[in-house]
Amino acid sequence: MDAIIVGGGIGGLATAAFLQQQGVRARVFEQAPELRPVGAGIVLAPNAVRLLRRLGVMEALERQALKVRTGWQFRRWQDGRILLEQDMATCESLYGEAAWLVHRADLLGALLPAVDPDTVHLDHQCADIDQSPSGVTVTFANGASAGGEVLVAADGIHSTIRQQLIGQLPARDSGLCAWRAMIPADRLPERFVAPTQTLWLGPGRHLVHYPVSAGRTINVVAFTPAEPGETVESWSAEGKPGDFRAEFAGWDGMVNELLDAVTQVGRWSVLDRTPIERYVHDRVVLLGDAAHPMLPFFAQGAGQAIEDAATLAACLEQAGDISTALGAYDQVRVPRTAQVQEASHDRAQVNHLPDGPEQQARDRAFAGEDPLRHSDWLYSYDAQREARQAVRAELLRAP
């Protein structure tokens, strides 16, 4: 089989690696002229890590990633009081894998050697697709074309392929904007380098920080109210460090200490999308943000793209024909990713409660929570096992 993959990000490279691992001819076409180390921090949870382990890339990734020792350390905005501190010692015993703090560039760097370099083609921007009963042909802006039996659209939240198939996804205005900064660890006290994901909660906003790249860099991401009419949705959009600090004026001194070290910050609006009903359109498969863009409040954007990739490869391996494989992919991925999308959507309201009775009830509830066990539905999920079961179900349904 010949698979064409449009998009050389996490989802695209992971798909190529999983497909090539089982002998499928998979080619990646990326619009950028080079694969640059862009992006920022990612939390990889056990549901994604177990798949990367099977792919054979975790050994390389672990040299740059940090294993989470204490996760979900929730702090109150005003005084830094710890509301919840989850000991991650039991994570591996519960789910077989730990959670890891990773720079996106380090993850891409670990995935790339798992893909045949001769199958990665840069400076190829998708211009058009044409389907037939036996396959798909992609035409690129540079005049080149490529054909295959399956086309995987891994071209991100602004996917041109998805737009051609179903149009623009209507956005739900979250009322929020995101801020992201990377700070060299040597500019901060050592306590910021601890392998902990710290979440500060306050009225109408929250802030997260954790180390990446073997502790050399501190990743900071925050969410605050958006300005009226703000619609720029791009990681490359820039903000002003002074404005970033002003958003958290009056917060605990540890937050001020962190933001005082910020010299460059990204700022963009956060738009939400409702789940769509299907990801498969004849021989075209939507994957990652092209299929299910989600708010980042469950830290599952990269994880769900990796699940997509592993699922698609497992379905194609298990099924006797492409139609059965793609039908199984749709059956298993649409409800799974919709559940994560909606959970992420609901989390924003919980994080941003104004001070008062609801906030106090939330904080009291944190004291009795065990987030690791509450996340069983998310972390125990085995995408490859579910894919094989979905294929079997599709075969039973076949006439």
Active site residues: 210
What is the CA 136 to chain-centroid distance, rounded? 27
Phi and psi torsions of 361, nearest 5°: -65, -40
Cα separation, 325 vs 334, in Å, equals: 14
- Which residues are within 8 A (CB) of 215 and not within 5 positions of it... i.e. 6 or more apart? 66, 185, 193, 195
Cα separation, 393 vs 160, in Å, equals: 32
Cα separation, 148 vs 285, in Å, equals: 12
Cα separation, 349 vs 2, in Å, equals: 44
Cα separation, 64 vs 215, in Å, equals: 8
Read off the DSSP letter of residue 175: E
What is the distance between the terminal CA atoms of the chain, rounded to a whole angstrom?
A: 24
138: left (phi over 0), alpha (psi -120 to 50) or beta: beta
Q: What sections of the chain are H helices per DSSP?
A: 10-21, 46-55, 58-62, 91-95, 104-111, 160-166, 241-247, 253-260, 301-318, 322-351, 357-367, 371-374, 376-379, 383-397
